[in-house]
Amino acid sequence: MAFVIPLPERPSLAVSNGQRFPIRRVFCVGRNYAKHAAEMGASGERGQAPMIFSKPADAVVDASLGAEIPYPPLTEKLHHEIELAVAISSGGRDIPVAQAMGHVYGYGVALDLTRRDLQEQAKAKGHPWNWAKGFDFSAPVGTLVPAADVGHPQAGRIWLEVDGALRQEGDLDDQVWSIAEVIAAISAHVELKAGDLILTGTPNGVGPLVPGSECVGGIDGVGELRVRVV
Ligand code: MN
């Protein structure tokens, strides 16, 4: 097969076993912790379905050894959102909630970096969130850990410090929609496939980052993430 341009590089993440996890697509859940929904001026109630948006696969940055993230263009309000990332090992359509966890390869600690000013403008105009969420380097993720090793974390502390000060703190148990429910909901819209990555929402305490900000975050039983904005 001759391609007219070089094949694009496949983004991937480090796994704790020394292998790598290739990224196919990135889905994100919005407003999945009630206190964060409230700080965004939104309802934290379940409603009919989880609110899902996406980022391009190459927004993912392997932060297994720490990462330097360039401050993105066209914003003066870059925000941190610490999140549990779920790596999908096998896909399907209309996956039942009861079978959803069988499609999970493992977990990681991620940042859903957000150009909050562009998001506020998009919300006001009823426009898509695309440029607020789907920009280069907007999804640094730490080392993935296989569910075969750590199980499926359903509760545990999720936190983020910026320059040594605690900014975000919550518990996975506070998630409005469970991981299984999110997998089921996404697979109702599209065929979920191996390599898909899901960022499952952030607890309250989101706030600004500036060049030089040192972010250290973690999730009990999953690991830690270190990112520096440059
Ligand atoms: Mn988020």
Q: What is the pLDDT of residue 46?
A: 87
Instruction: List phi, psi (to 5°) of 155.
Output: -145, 160
Taken in order 49, 51, 55, 59, the sign of the CA dihedral is negative
* Gap from CA of 33 to ligand 1 centroid (Å): 10
CATH number at residue 127: 3.90.850.10
| Structure confidence at residue 51 (pLDDT) | 95
91 C-alpha vs ligand 1 centroid, how far in Å?
A: 23
What pLDDT does residue 130 have? Answer: 97
- Residue 59 domain flag: yes
What is the pLDDT at residue 166?
98
Please tell me the distance between residue 92's alpha carbon and the centre of ligand 1 in angstroms: 24
The answer to whether the CB of 223 falls within 8 A of the CB of 136 is: no
In whole numbers, what is the pLDDT of the chain averaged over residues? 97
Q: Is residue 138 part of a domain?
A: yes
Residue 46 makes CB contacts below 8 A (sequence gap 6+) with 176, 177
- Cα 3 to ligand 1 centroid, rounded to whole Å: 36
Separation of CA 80 and ligand 1 centre (Å):
9
Q: How far is the CA of 96 from the centre of ligand 1 (A)?
A: 24
Instruction: Supply the pLDDT for residue 198.
Output: 98
The C-alpha atoms of residue 195 and residue 22 are separated, in whole angstroms, by 6
Residue 109 pLDDT: 98
Average pLDDT over residues 148-154: 96
pTM exceeds 0.85: yes
- Whether residue 18 lies inside any domain: the answer is yes
Q: What domain count does the chain have?
A: 1
Specify the pLDDT at position 48. 86
The pLDDT-based confidence of 92 (bands split at 50, 70, 90) is very high
* Pick from 138, 93, 140: nearest CA to 119: 138
Q: How far is the CA of 110 from the centre of ligand 1 (A)?
A: 10
Query: Considering the domain boundaries, does residue 3 fall inside one?
Result: no
Distance 118 CA to ligand 1 centre (A): 14
For residues 84-92, average pLDDT: 98
Question: What is the spatial distance between Cα 178 and Cα 50, in angstroms, rounded to a whole number?
Answer: 10
Give the pLDDT confidence score for residue 87 in this predicted structure: 99
What is the distance in A from the centroid of ligand 1 to the CA of 26? 12
Distance 187 CA to ligand 1 centre (A): 19
Question: Is residue 44 pLDDT above 90, yes or no?
Answer: no
7 occurs within a structural domain? no
- Of 38 and 80, the one with more pLDDT: 80
> How remote is the CA of residue 172 from the centroid of ligand 1, in Å?
14
Asked if residue 6 belongs to a domain, the reply is no
Give the pLDDT confidence of 174-220 residue by residue, as tens digits: 999 999 999 999 999 999 999 999 999 999 999 999 999 999 999 99
- 166 is a domain residue: yes
* Structural domain contains residue 43: yes
Q: Is residue 177 a contact partner of residue 47, using CB atoms and an 8 Å limit?
A: no
pLDDT bucket at 47, cuts 50 / 70 / 90: confident
How far is the centre of ligand 1, averaged over its atoms, from the C-alpha of 6 (Å)? 33
Q: What percent of the chain has pLDDT over 90?
A: 95
Structure tokens at 211: 């060049």
Query: Per-residue pLDDT averaged across 81-103, rounded?
Result: 98
* Structural domain boundaries, residue 61: 12-229
CA of 189 to the centre of ligand 1 (A): 19
Segment 129-142 shows an average pLDDT of: 98
Mean pLDDT of 21-43: 94
